[in-house]
Structure 1
Amino acid sequence: MALSRQRRRGIRLAAAGAASLLVIAVGVAQAQTPSTAQHTVAGEDSGELMDSINSFDDQRLSPTASVLPGAYGAAWNHVLGIPVAGATYGEVTTQPFNSDSLHFRDRNASNSGSGAGFSAGRIAALATDPTHPGVVYAGAADGGVFRSSDDGATWTPIADGLPALSVGSLAVASDGALWLGTGEATTAYENYLGTGVYRLADPATGTFSRNDRVGGVELESTSIHELRFDYDAGYVYAVTSHGVYRRPVAATQTTAWQQVLAPCAGVGISGIACGTSSYYADIANDLAIQPGSHGLKLVANVAWRGGATYNGFYYSGDGGTTWQTANPQGAINPHDIGNATFAYAADGSRLYVVMESPTLLNKAAGGQSGYSALAGVFASGSGDINGPYAQVATSSALANTGSAMKKTEIGAGYQPGTQAWYDQSLAVDPANPRHVYLGLEEMYETWDGGATWQTTGRYWNLGMSCFSYTPAQNTCDGNVMHSDQHALAFSAWPGRAPEVYIGNDGGAYARPTSQTTGWRNLNASGTLRTLQFYSVGVGTLPTGGVAVWGGLQDNGVALSTPTGAKYTYTYPGTTTPVTENLNPSGQMSEPFGGDGGDQLVNPSNGCQTVGEYTNLAMSLTNDCGYTANDDGTPAAITDISPNDPNARFIAPFAADSADAGYWVAGGEFAYADTKTWQSTSGADWQKLADSGAGHSITAIASRNHVVWAAWCGDCNPSAAFARGIMTNYGGSWHQLTLPAAFPVRYVSGVTIDPSDPTGGTVYATVSGFSRHWNEGPGAGYGHVWKTTDGGATWSDVTGGDTAADAFPDAPANQLRIAPDGTLIVASDLGVFVDNVKANGLGHWSRLGTNLPVSAAVYLTPSPDGRQLYVATHGRGIWQTAMP
C-alpha cells in the first residue's frame, strides 16, 4: 500500500471501516468474520490497506462470508457452455507505466519523482529456471504467470488458458517442470482463491492448460502460499489456507494431495483446542525443509495474524507424517507467534525467521496508534526450530538503516513492519549463510547474519535529505523500488553473476547479489502487464486519439495517451496558451499517487478528469495533471473532496447521463455538484440525501437529475449485513422497499435505462454467489434485476436457473446499456451480454473469449460510443467493438 503525497501531507485521513475476512474472485472458500479487533492493523495506512482488501472482499462475501466450495467451479463450467457473442478484445494498456514521468509531478497529489520508476501490478511469486539461463517466471495477484526468456527484459503470459489467474506460488522442480500454486496468499485469505496446483513440463517454451492440474479437487478454493520440494523424502508440499498438504513428487498426475498438518482439524497433530474459530483455522503461511536432514526435518508456521489458539511453529522429523508443536526459546515469545516466514542457510547451519506479532496488531485495534506489527527478525544459530533464537532486527533498528520509513522521514504511525501481516519475504543467499534479504514494506539486506542491516530497497525518496523536486539537484541513489515486498528468488546460471529477484506491489526488480546500489527494473518494457484497475474513463484529445484513465490498486491513477499526443494549456497566472507534448516517450504516466479508485473523464476533453484516491477523496484536473516544470509546478490538480464520514474505500461518482453539467457522488450521503469542471473545493458538493447512519453508498447513477443509489451497512459480511436502494424518482428522496426475493447481497451497480425518459427503468447488478452456494439467510438468487416502475416492483432477468444461457452464478460488477439496448455486464468471470431486442430478457452470451479471466470490474464506452473499454483487476484495460 503506497502512500501518496496528498495522504502524507494530511489532506485526507483514512476512513477506518470494519474489516472482513475472505475474498472470492476467481475462487471461493468458506469464511467467517472474526472480531474487528483481529483486522484493524497498526498504522493508519496499514488500516487503509485493509480497507482496500475489504473493498474487494465485502461485495463478494456478503451477507455472511460463508460460501461453499465448488461455487467457482460450477460457475466456470457454466461459462464454458454459455453461447458466445463474437468479439475480439485488444489490449489498451500496453505502454510501459512510468510512475516517475516528468511533468506529472504535482506536489500534492502525485508520487512521480519518488524513485520507483516503471511499475506493474502485484507480483506474488517468482522463480528462475536453473536449466535455461535468462528464463524467469513471475506470478501475479490476478494476472496469471509471465515468462521472460531474456532475464526480465521482456515478458509473455503463459497461463491464460487456466480458469484462475490468481497466483500464490511458483517453483521449478529438479526435472525442469514449473509448478504453479493458484490462489494468492499474501494475506492468508483476503485475495483471490484458486483451482489447485498445475505442472508445466516444458515451461521454457510451453503454456499452461487445464489438463496440467496435479491432483484432484482437494485444493480447489484455497490459496497456496508456497510449494516446497523435498527430493530426499520424495514429496512436494503445498502450504495452503487449509493447512499443509503433500503428495509424492513422482506420483501420477491424478494422485490426490494428502492433508498432513491441520492442527484444528486434528491432522498431523492432536490436542490443539481451536474453539469456534473453524472458518479461519489452519492457515499455513510457510514451510521449510532443513538442509542436511535427508528431507526428514520440516518446520511450518500455521497462524492467523490476529491471534488464535493454534498459532505456532510446528516441526516434523519424518517428512511430514507426524508433527509436534515447537517451543522456541530465547528471543521469540512462543505465545505471540503470528504470520511468519522461514529461511534456512543452504548448509542448514542457521534458520532465520521474520514474524508478525498479533499482540502489536491488536494494540492498534485497541486505539493505540503508532505500533509496528513486526515482532522482529530472529536467527537460530543451530538451525533448530526450538532455538535458542537471537533477535537480529527490530522495527526501530530497521528504521535507522537508511529507511524512508523513519519517523523523521515519513511521520509517526508507519514504521517498518507495520504491514508485516501482509508484507513478508525472506531468503538467504545460497552462497553465503550470513547474507540475507528481508522484505517488509521495504527491502533490507544484511551481510553479517543480522548484526547490521542496510535498506537496499527504500519506500521512496520523498522526505530524504537527498531528495529535491528539481531533478538536477536530486542526489538520491538507486536504492528505491515499489513498496510492499512479497517474493524473492535467486539465479545461479553458469557464466553469469548470481542475481536476486524481488516481487512487490509494483512488479519485479533484480540485481546481482554482489551489488549494493541500484536495481534493474524488470517492468521497464511494459510487457509484464499485470496492472490491477478499479476503473476506466476515456476522453478525446484535440490532436487525435483518446486519453484513457484508470484507478489502480497501489499504483495511483494511470494515464495512457498516444505517443506524441499534444495539448494546449493556459497556466495559472499566465495569459498565453502553451502547447505541450503529453507523451514524448510512448509511456503511461501516474498523475495521481497512492491508490486509485473511481474515475470520471470528460468524453469530449480527455485532459479533464476527476480521480479518487480512496474513500471519496476526489481530485480534479483540467490539464491532464501536467505540470509545466520538471519540479512539479505549477499545481495541476485540485482537491474537491466532499469529506464524507463513511465512504467506501472505492466510492462511486458519475456524471448525469443526460446532463454533463450535473455530477453525483456517494459516501454515506448522496451529493451533487453543478460546477463540475469549474469546481475548486469540496464545498462545491451539496448533500442530496442521507443513506442512513452507518451506511455507505456502493453505486450511484443519475439521468436528468433523477438519482438512484445503492448502499450497504453494515457492509462487513456478518449477521448485521444490510443493503438497500434509495432514489428521488417521483420527486422526493425515499428508501425503496425491496421485495423478499431480491437478494440480500451487495448491490454493486445501478444503471438507468436511457430509453425511459422518466428515469424509472433501472437495472441493479448484485455481487456474490446465490443461495446455491451461500449458506446465509436471504442470499437469494440472481445477479441482474430490473424495475420499470421506479422500484415498486422488480424482476430477476438473470435467466432460467438451469438454462445454458443464464447469467453465470458469479459476482456481477457493473452493467452498461449499448445504444441498441443490449445489456452488457462485467463480472469476475468476464463480460456477458443480453441482446434484449433479439432474444428477450434473461438470455446471455459471453462477449468474446480472448479476454483474460481476470475479474472485469468496470465498463465505459468510447467517446463516439463505438468501442467498449473493460478494466480488469489484474490484466490492465482492454477494448472491443460495442455490442
Structure 2
Amino acid sequence: MRTQIQRRLLPIGAVSVVALALIGSSANAASTPRGSHNLPHATGQQLTPFGTVRANALGGPPGNPDGGVDDPTSADQQYFQARSAPGIVAPGAYSAAIGQLKSMDTAGGDWRQVTNKPYNSDDPIYRDYDSNSSAGSGNVTGRITGLAADNEGHVYAGAANGGVWRSSVGGGSWTPISDKLPAESTGDLELDARGDLWYATGEANTASDTFTGSGVYVLRDPEHHTFSTHDRVGGTELESTSIRKLRIIGGTAWAATTRGVWTHSATNLSGPWKLAFAPNPAYLPGGSLAADPSAIYKNIVNDVAADPKDPSKVVLAVGWRSGDTYNGFYTRQNGVWTRITTSLGDLPTAAANVGAVTFARSKDGSKYYAINQDPTLITSPKSTLGGIYVSNSGSPLGPWTLVATSAKLEASGSAETGATYNPGVQAWYNQFLQVDPNDPRHLYAGLEEVYESHDAGATWQTVGPYWNFTFACWSIDPTEQSGTCSQTTHSDQHAVAIGSYKGKSFVYVGNDGGAYKRPVKGSVDTLGHATDWQSLNDGTINVLQYYSVGVGKDTKSGGFDVSGGLQDNGQSILRPSEPVMGSNFGGDGGDTLVDPANGCNIAEEYTNLAMWVTNDCGANVSTDPSTATEYSVPPNDGVTGNARFIAPFTADAKNPNTWVAGGEHVAVQTKGYAIRSTSDWTDVYDLGSGNVATAVAASGGTIYAAWCGGGCNGPGFSRGIAVGKADGTGWHQLNLPVNGVVPNRYLSGLEIDPHNANHVYLAVNGFSRKWTEGPGAGVGHIFESWNGGVTWCDISKNLPDVPANSVRILPEGSLVLATDLAVFYRGAHSSEWKVLGENLPTNATLQVKIGPDGRIYAATHGRGIWSLAAPHGWDGH
C-alpha cells in the first residue's frame, strides 16, 4: 500500500485498451525474515513497520519510503510492453474489439462480487512489522484520478480503471454510473456551468498500470442519470489516447492529451474534436514517423490555462516528463502556436526544465498557480519537483513567483512535524492543485502528500502526511489503534475538488488509496496535520486494482479465504469471519499463491520476485519484530531484481510443494509453504541475458516458461518458450520463428493439461497485425499444442482481437480465458468462444484461477475480485 518502494512508473503509449506502463530500474531485495529490523524510533530512522523492512531490503536511502531512484530510462516494462510489442498499436483496435464482443453469445450464470467488504488498511488483526496497519489511511480502494463536486452533496469520483461513481450524500454510499461505457479508465472529471458532467477517459498519470480510453463523454443531469455510449462527444478522434486534463474555457472544451491538444464546442456537442496543436505531428498516427519507438512521447500536452481577462490568451503546458526538446509552454503568436522563450519570471521556459505541469486558477481571476516537475531531476532520489508557483497578475503569462520547493515543503516543520517524505520525489506521477473558490490565497497542493497554504504559498502545512509511522503519536500496539495520531490520507495524490453538503464546504482528494474529504476550513493539530480527514472508501466503491488472486479453505469457519495482490495497496485477505478485508502485507502486491487446503498459507510477491511467505494469514500481531512469522524468500532473481515488475510464480499442479518462479532464470523450490530462505531455491535454467519470464506453468515436474527479451518491445523485441524438468534436466528452447503460427508478441499465460504434460495452452497479449506496427505481429490470442510445443494451432476462432492475459482448464476440459475486455469460455466439445457469465464489469481481468470450492475467480485490475460457479459438464452448445 504505502511504501511503493519499487513502483517504477514511466512512459505512456498510444495503445488501445492499455497501459502506458513504465517501471524503472530494479533495486536489490534481501532474504531476511520480515520484521527483523529495529523499531524506527529506537534507531532514529524515518522508517516504519513495512517501510523498515522493504526500504532497507531494497537498498533505498533511510527515510525514503520509495526505496530509491525512480528511473524513467528503463521504460515500458509491464503493461505497455505487453500490449504493444513488437511496435505500437494504431487507433481503432479497442472499438473493433468491443464490436466483436457485442456480437458474441453468453455462457454460464452470474458473476458475484467477492471483494464486497470495506478494505481496512489499518485492520488491527494485521498490526505487525510487515504490514501498513496503523499507518492511518483507514479504508482504502483503488486509485482515484478524477473528482468533481457540486454544492448539493453530489460527488463524482473517477477511478484509474474502474469508471465513474456518484455519491449523493457528500461522499460515500457510491453508485457506479459509467458501466455501460467501453472504457473505465479515468483521465479527468469536470462539471460545467450548466451542471453537466464531462468524463475524459484514458488515464495520463504515466503509471505502470495506466490504460487508455475511448474519448470524452458528457452526462446531462448527472445527479440522476448514468452514462451511455450515446453521450460521447465527437467520433473516434480521442480513442486509444489518454487525457490528462479537460478544461472548459468560455464556450470551448480543451482536452490535453498524449496526442496533442484538441478542442470542441462546449455548448454544441455534435461534430468531431479538432486537433488544435501537436508539437510533433509527424509522430501522430498516420504520420511519417508514427512507427518510431519514441512516437508515444512526442506529442504530450499536460494542461491548458487561459487569461481570465482575455480568454483568447491560452497557454499550453507541453512535454514528456523525462525531457525532450519540444518541452515547454506554448501560446499563439500571429495565429501560430509558439514555444515561449522569453521570461515568465521564476517559472522556467527552457525545454530541459519543463516537465509535467498542473495549473489552477482562483475563481475571482486574481491568481494562477502551477506545479512544475523538472525533467533534469527525474533520477534524483530526493525530488523531481521544480516548484510550485503563483502568478499574482492572474494571467498564465505571469510573471510567476516561486513559492514552494521540495526543501521548503519538507521544512514546513521539523522532521517530526513536517512532511514524512521527500516532497515531489514522484512529481511526474503525483500532482494536483485546488484554490478555495472563496479565498484566492487558500490553496491545496497534492504531491505524495497533501499540503495546504492560507497565504498564497508563503507558508505551508502538511495536512495529509504520507503516513503516521514517523510521528511520536504512533503506536504499533493494536489496542491503541493508530495511537493518538489522527487519520491521514493514502499517499500519491492525483485529483481534487471542492463542494458542499448541507451547507458545509469540503475538499475532496483522490489518490492511490481512493477518496478522502475534510472541511475546506479544517482543523489541524500542533504538528500541522489535519485532524478531520474522513475516508470515503466505505466498501460501496470497489475499484481495487488486483494483479492476482488466490483462494484457500478457511480452517476456522469451513468457508474460503480469498487473497490478492494490489497496486499500491499491498496484499488483501478476505476471511468469512471478519467484517472487513484486511491488509496483511503492505507496499505493492504482485502475484499470489495460496494453499487450497489452508488459506492462511500464503506466498505473495512485492515486486520483481521479492517474495514473502506466511503460515498464519500474516496475522502476527506483536510489538516485538523478532517474533515475525512472515519470511522473505525471494529466488536469486528476486534478490538482484532481474525479473518483471509483476513476475510470475506458481506451484506444480501435481506436486504442490514444488514451486516455480520466473525471472532471468527459472527457479525451483520443493519445500512449499515451509520455505524460509533464498537458499531453498535452485536456478534450473538460464533464459538468457536480458530475457525475463512472462509466464510459467508446471505439472508433474514438467515446466514451461515463456519469456521476452530485447527490451521487451521495439526493434529488438524477442520472445520464446523454454521447456524442461524441475530437476534441471531436459531444458531446451522451442522453435518459435518470428513469422510462425505463434505471433511475435508478448506471451502472457500458460496452462498445462493435468492429464498430459505435452498438451499445453498459450495466451498471447497485444493486438493482431491489423493494428500492430512491428514484424511478425501475427493473429490470434490463444494457441494449443499437443506435442510439448513443437507445433501449435491457433484456436482463437471467434475471439475478439484483444490482449489475453490468463488461461485455465476446467476439470471437464473446457477453457476459461481472461482478457482486457472480458472473460471468455470455450466448452470441452466446442470450438466457439462465448462471453463467460453476466454482470462482470467491462474491465481488464489479469488472472483467473479455479478455487478449491470449484468456483472461477477473476482478478480484475479496477473492479475487485469476482467469482462464478464453474459450468461442470456443460459443453457450451
After TM superposition, the score normalised by the length of structure 2 is 0.87
1:600 has 2:593 as partner: yes
* Closer, same or farther: CA 383–189 of 1 in aligned 2, 3 Å: farther
Q: Provide Cα deviations, 1:765-795, integer angstroms capped at 9, x if missing partner.
A: 1100111110101111111111111111111
1:23-422 aligned at under 5 Å gives the runs 24=15, 26=17, 44-45=67-68, 47=70, 54-64=77-87, 66-107=88-129, 109-130=130-151, 133-187=152-206, 191-231=210-250, 234-251=251-268, 253-265=269-281, 278-293=295-310, 295-315=311-331, 323-326=337-340, 327-335=342-350, 336-361=353-378, 364=379, 369-402=380-413, 415-422=422-429
| 2:464 paired residue among 457, 465, 483 | 457
Q: Name 2:42's counterpart in structure 1.
A: none
Q: Name 1:571's counterpart in structure 2.
A: none
1:430 has 2:430 as partner: no
Task: Return the alpha-carbon distance in structure 2 between the equivalents of residues 278 and 787 of structure 1.
Answer: 37
1:818 has 2:814 as partner: no
1:480 has 2:488 as partner: yes
CA deviation after TM superposition for structure 1 residue 174, in Å: 2.0
CA deviation after TM superposition for structure 1 residue 385, in Å: 2.8
Contact 1:189–1:241 at 8 Å: present in 2 too? Answer: no
* Closer, same or farther: CA 424–28 of 1 in aligned 2, 3 Å: closer
1:667 has 2:663 as partner: yes
Contact 2:203–2:242 at 8 Å: present in 1 too? Answer: yes
Q: Provide Cα deviations, 1:152-182, integer angstroms capped at 9, x if missing partner.
A: 1210111001111111111112222211111
Task: Return the alpha-carbon distance in structure 1 between the equivalents of residues 8 and 679 of structure 2.
Answer: 23
CA deviation after TM superposition for structure 1 residue 16, in Å: 7.9
1:484-883 aligned at under 5 Å gives the runs 484-492=492-500, 496-516=503-523, 517-542=530-555, 543-562=557-576, 565=577, 583=578, 586-629=579-622, 634-644=627-637, 645=640, 646-728=642-724, 732-739=730-737, 740-756=740-756, 759-799=757-797, 806-837=798-829, 839-840=830-831, 843-865=832-854, 867-883=855-871
Task: Return the alpha-carbon distance in structure 2 between the equivalents of residues 855 and 551 of structure 1.
Answer: 15
* Closer, same or farther: CA 861–210 of 1 in aligned 2, 3 Å: same
CA deviation after TM superposition for structure 1 residue 20, in Å: 5.7
Task: Return the alpha-carbon distance in structure 1 between the equivalents of residues 619 and 542 of structure 2.
Answer: 24
Partner SS for 1:297: strand
Task: Return the alpha-carbon distance in structure 1 between the equivalents of residues 396 and 497 of structure 2.
Answer: 23
CA deviation after TM superposition for structure 1 residue 688, in Å: 1.3
Greater shift, 330-339 or 630-639, is seen at 630-639
Task: Return the alpha-carbon distance in structure 1 between the equivalents of residues 67 and 290 of structure 2.
Answer: 31
Task: Return the alpha-carbon distance in structure 2 between the equivalents of residues 508 and 687 of structure 1.
Answer: 44
* Closer, same or farther: CA 223–601 of 1 in aligned 2, 3 Å: same
* Closer, same or farther: CA 187–864 of 1 in aligned 2, 3 Å: closer
* Closer, same or farther: CA 205–317 of 1 in aligned 2, 3 Å: farther
Task: Return the alpha-carbon distance in structure 2 between the equivalents of residues 288 and 324 of structure 1.
Answer: 15
Contact 1:404–1:460 at 8 Å: present in 2 too? Answer: no
Partner SS for 1:137: strand
Task: Return the alpha-carbon distance in structure 1 between the equivalents of residues 83 and 242 of structure 2.
Answer: 16
Task: Return the alpha-carbon distance in structure 1 between the equivalents of residues 513 and 16 of structure 2.
Answer: 21
Contact 1:106–1:634 at 8 Å: present in 2 too? Answer: no
Contact 2:495–2:511 at 8 Å: present in 1 too? Answer: yes
Q: Provide Cα deviations, 1:601-643, integer angstroms capped at 9, x if missing partner.
A: 0001011110111111111111110124478784231111123
Task: Return the alpha-carbon distance in structure 1 between the equivalents of residues 689 and 244 of structure 2.
Answer: 39
Partner SS for 1:72: helix
Tell me the amino acid that sits aligned with residue 285 of structure 1: N
Contact 2:14–2:296 at 8 Å: present in 1 too? Answer: no
Q: Provide Cα deviations, 1:803-853, integer angstroms capped at 9, x if missing partner.
A: xxx11111100000011111110000110111131x23xx21111242111
Contact 1:395–1:416 at 8 Å: present in 2 too? Answer: yes
Task: Return the alpha-carbon distance in structure 2 between the equivalents of residues 36 and 440 of structure 1.
Answer: 22
Task: Return the alpha-carbon distance in structure 2 between the equivalents of residues 189 and 541 of structure 1.
Answer: 33
Give identity over the alignment, percent.
45
CA deviation after TM superposition for structure 1 residue 227, in Å: 1.9
Q: Name 1:575's counterpart in structure 2.
A: none
Contact 2:356–2:373 at 8 Å: present in 1 too? Answer: yes
Which residues of structure 1 form unaligned runs of 5+?
8-13, 268-272, 566-582, 800-805
Partner SS for 2:89: coil
Contact 2:137–2:535 at 8 Å: present in 1 too? Answer: no
CA deviation after TM superposition for structure 1 residue 479, in Å: 5.6
Contact 1:530–1:874 at 8 Å: present in 2 too? Answer: yes
Tell me the amino acid that sits aligned with residue 495 of structure 2: A
Partner SS for 1:772: coil
CA deviation after TM superposition for structure 1 residue 255, in Å: 1.4
CA deviation after TM superposition for structure 1 residue 183, in Å: 0.7
CA deviation after TM superposition for structure 1 residue 487, in Å: 0.4
Contact 1:51–1:649 at 8 Å: present in 2 too? Answer: no
* Closer, same or farther: CA 301–807 of 1 in aligned 2, 3 Å: same
Contact 1:23–1:190 at 8 Å: present in 2 too? Answer: no
Task: Return the alpha-carbon distance in structure 1 between the equivalents of residues 840 and 279 of structure 2.
Answer: 41
Task: Return the alpha-carbon distance in structure 2 between the equivalents of residues 16 and 128 of structure 1.
Answer: 32
* Closer, same or farther: CA 457–642 of 1 in aligned 2, 3 Å: same
* Closer, same or farther: CA 589–48 of 1 in aligned 2, 3 Å: farther
Tell me the amino acid that sits aligned with residue 152 of structure 1: G
Task: Return the alpha-carbon distance in structure 2 between the equivalents of residues 787 and 545 of structure 1.
Answer: 37
* Closer, same or farther: CA 48–278 of 1 in aligned 2, 3 Å: closer
Tell me the amino acid that sits aligned with residue 763 of structure 2: T
Contact 1:216–1:254 at 8 Å: present in 2 too? Answer: no
CA deviation after TM superposition for structure 1 residue 476, in Å: 4.9
Q: Provide Cα deviations, 1:186-205, integer angstroms capped at 9, x if missing partner.
A: 22997211111111112111
Contact 1:403–1:455 at 8 Å: present in 2 too? Answer: no
CA deviation after TM superposition for structure 1 residue 27, in Å: 5.4
Task: Return the alpha-carbon distance in structure 1 between the equivalents of residues 333 and 261 of structure 2.
Answer: 15
Task: Return the alpha-carbon distance in structure 2 between the equivalents of residues 50 and 603 of structure 1.
Answer: 41
Partner SS for 2:771: coil
Task: Return the alpha-carbon distance in structure 2 between the equivalents of residues 96 and 676 of structure 1.
Answer: 31
Partner SS for 1:263: coil
Greater shift, 846-855 or 93-102, is seen at 846-855
Q: Provide Cα deviations, 1:521-561, integer angstroms capped at 9, x if missing partner.
A: 34342111110000000001122211000000000000011
Contact 2:177–2:225 at 8 Å: present in 1 too? Answer: yes
Contact 1:27–1:183 at 8 Å: present in 2 too? Answer: no
Contact 1:770–1:780 at 8 Å: present in 2 too? Answer: yes
Contact 1:28–1:71 at 8 Å: present in 2 too? Answer: no
Task: Return the alpha-carbon distance in structure 2 between the equivalents of residues 258 and 497 of structure 1.
Answer: 40
Tell me the amino acid that sits aligned with residue 210 of structure 1: T
